[in-house]
Amino acid sequence: MMKSQPLIIYDSKCKFCSKFANWCTLKNNIFQTIPVRDREAKTRLREVDVVFINLNTIYFINDKKVYTKSEAVFEIMKLISFPWNIFSLFRILPLSLTNYFYEVFAKYRYRIKI
């Protein structure tokens, strides 16, 4: 059985999120990206038992496992080459702490000028 491509599902209305998703594919072309509001995103998320889609999070699906928020970012960064993969080391911090910072960032992400 062929392994599926790692999938990043992101908020395409957020300039930062779009640039991050594009940057990830430039750094490692194994990633597939789909905007969260795309019908395909809904289908792919249902395949991994995500029924409620939160527009304030990034989803990362790899090996039929879904990651969200900071955990998704850490998993993505793990697959990007040095020095960027160092960011995945922050996963040693409590998920409640890293998700708190993720949620604060997500709240203000539309204000980021890129």
pLDDT score for 89: 85
Question: Domain for residue 33, yes or no?
Answer: yes
Q: Is 49 exposed, middle or buried, given 0-12, 13-18 or 19+ CB atoms closer than 10 A?
A: exposed
In a domain, residue 97? The reply is yes
| pLDDT band of 3, cuts 50, 70, 90 | low
Q: Give percent of the chain above pLDDT 90.
A: 63
Q: Which whole-number Å values give the CA distances from 70 to 1, 6, 52, 93, in the listed order?
A: 30, 16, 18, 11
CA 110 to chain centre: 16
Classify residue 104: in a domain, yes or no: yes
Alpha-carbon distance of 36 to 21, in angstroms, equals 12
The whole-model pTM stands at 0.90
Task: Give residue-wise pLDDT tens across range 55-106.
Answer: 889 999 999 899 999 999 999 999 998 888 888 888 899 999 999 999 999 9
Domain that holds residue 37: 7-110
Closest CA to 106 of 59, 70, 57: 57
Structure tokens at 10: 């992101």
Q: Phi, psi (5° rounding) for residue 50? A: -95, 115
Q: Has residue 54 got a pLDDT over 70?
A: yes
Number of domains in the chain: 1
Question: Is residue 1 assigned to a domain?
Answer: no
Whether 1 has a pLDDT exceeding 80, the answer reads no
Whether 2 is in a domain gets the answer no
In this structure, what token pair is assigned to residue 38? 């795309």
